[in-house]
Amino acid sequence: METPLRAGLIGAGFIGSVHAHAIRASGARLSRVSDSTPERALEAARRLGAEAAAESAEALIASDDIDVVHICTPNATHADLAERAIAAGKTVICEKPLATSLADADRLVAAADRAGVVTAVPFVYRYYPSVREARALIDAGAAGRLWLLHGSYLQDWLSNSGETNWRVDPSQGGGSRAFGDIGVHWCDLMEFVTGHRITRLMARMSNAHSERPTAEGMKSVGTEDGVTLMFETDRGATGSLVASQVSLGRKNKLWFSFDGTEAAYVFDQENPDSLWVGGANESRILPRGPGGAGSRGEGPDYSFLPAGHPQGYQDCFNAFVADVYAVATGARRDGLPTFTDGRRAAKITEAVIDSAKNESWTEVLA
Ligand code: SOE
């Protein structure tokens, strides 16, 4: 019986609690939790069932009884904490965005390569079996030539102008919000599933609400509520993306249609247990399950519940953490999103910000 890995969790908000569940589901120990104060860390340790509270993030990272560090804090703190964890020789899972600048992301990838540590960024939508099925079908040539890659990622949790969040503040969340927070998920998924790479894009940012509350009263907003994007890829396809956090009634609707000359594949994160396959003479819904979506391809079977027993977001997170831990203990896993993928997201985000500012087509180099 292998000794279970010992995980340290930095940040115990919504996403920190998702990580905590995934850590336990993997069979690892949730050894320590840190939060913004020692008192909040104690409360979080009790709430999340951690073995101990850490005085601070830095103390947690320095602990020699921690093998893996999970960074679940506001975006602007990611780079420094990830750099410390790499220097301490830990396996590092850092929430997206990896960093709020491409320069920081470059620095983290180089540091991780030099240190030889395992790194990951939770682009967890890769772990839906129906997404893996679309990827396997496209890889097998069933789509023909992919020529149009389009979709959206729509939420409404910031629909109320009286609402705010640390992501609204560029100094805490980075220069882009709708794209930097959720548009990056869609682009990661598109490139992961199709193998295409965005080479240039045209972006237009917009706001439903021009002002939001701050400690000093209502202030103009420095990050976008929504972004519309056109792009071209290295294999001759074109595409579009709408990402919004003020689309009423849409809770977490990541949706794509990847259209080929032989078939089209549609995935809807709000109905994720099946894949729609469009054909000239017939279209069908491919349900997840034995012989259905997600039942092919390399590596572990991410379809682990019987058909008709829906798998969801937390299951994706559990599969992602289990794969990171497997790789950290010497196994190989197909499609693990690493800091290299986090850097790719920072690269595309930088291009989106530049394109929106200059109102021009902008190259996305490798
Ligand atoms: C908020 O937009 C959020 O929690 C994102 O930060 C996550 O990455 C996304 O998966 C769900 O929505």
**Which tens digit of pLDDT belongs to each residue from 271-289?**
999 999 999 999 999 999 8
Quote the DSSP letter at residue 202. Answer: E
CATH T-level topology, domain 6-124: Rossmann fold (3.40.50)
Is there a contact between 124 and 272 (Cβ–Cβ < 8 Å)?
no
**Which tens digit of pLDDT belongs to each residue from 25-66?**
999 999 999 999 999 999 999 999 999 999 999 999 999 999
- For ligand 1, whether the C-beta of 252 sits within 6 Å is yes
- C-alpha span between 91 and 282 (Å, rounded): 47
Task: Kindly give the distance from the C-alpha atom of residue 297 to the centroid of ligand 1, in angstroms, as a whole number.
Answer: 27
For residue 305, pLDDT beyond 60 = yes
The pLDDT, as a whole number, for residue 2 is 77
- C-alpha span between 270 and 157 (Å, rounded): 15
For residue 298, pLDDT beyond 70 = no
pLDDT bracket for residue 299 (50, 70, 90): low
The pLDDT, as a whole number, for residue 223 is 98
For ligand 1, atom 10: residue with the closest CA? 182
- For ligand 1, whether the C-beta of 155 sits within 6 Å is yes
Pocket-testing residue among 252, 269, 316, 320, ligand 1, by greatest number of atoms within 8 A of Cβ: 252
- For ligand 1, whether the C-beta of 246 sits within 6 Å is no
For the chain, the structural domain boundaries read 6-124, 128-310+337-358
- C-alpha span between 55 and 34 (Å, rounded): 7
For the CA of 124, the nearest atom of ligand 1: 10
**Whole-angstrom Cα Rg for the chain:** 20
- For ligand 1, whether the C-beta of 341 sits within 6 Å is no
Pocket-testing residue among 121, 164, 182, ligand 1, by greatest number of atoms within 8 A of Cβ: 182
- Concatenate the DSSP letters of all residues of 23-64 into one string: HHHTT-EEEEEE-SSHHHHHHHHHHHT-SEE-S-HHHHHH-T
Is there a contact between 99 and 175 (Cβ–Cβ < 8 Å)?
no
**Which tens digit of pLDDT belongs to each residue from 59-117?**
999 999 999 999 999 999 999 999 999 999 999 999 999 999 999 999 999 999 999 99
Mean pLDDT over 196-220 rounds to 96
What CATH number should be reported for the domain whose range is 128-310+337-358? 3.30.360.10
Q: How many CB atoms lie within 10 A of CB 285?
A: 12
- For ligand 1, whether the C-beta of 182 sits within 6 Å is yes
Distance of CA 250 to the CA centre of its chain: 18
For the CA of 96, the nearest atom of ligand 1: 8
For ligand 1, atom 11: residue with the closest CA? 252
The pLDDT, as a whole number, for residue 295 is 67
For ligand 1, atom 9: residue with the closest CA? 182
The pLDDT, as a whole number, for residue 170 is 96
**Which tens digit of pLDDT belongs to each residue from 164-183?**
999 999 999 999 999 999 99
User: What is the reported pTM?
Assistant: 0.97
Which percentage of the chain shows pLDDT scores above 90? Answer: 94
The pLDDT, as a whole number, for residue 1 is 65
Question: Helices in 54-210 by DSSP H: which ranges?
Answer: 57-62, 78-87, 102-115, 129-139, 170-173, 184-194
Query: 6-124 and 128-310+337-358: same fold?
Result: no
For residue 297, pLDDT beyond 60 = no
Residue 33, strand partner residues: 9, 53
**Which tens digit of pLDDT belongs to each residue from 3-20?**
999 999 999 999 999 999
- For ligand 1, whether the C-beta of 181 sits within 6 Å is yes
**Which tens digit of pLDDT belongs to each residue from 222-277?**
999 999 999 999 999 999 999 999 999 999 999 999 999 999 999 999 999 999 99
Task: Kindly give the distance from the C-alpha atom of residue 102 to the centroid of ligand 1, in angstroms, as a whole number.
Answer: 20
For residue 296, pLDDT beyond 70 = no
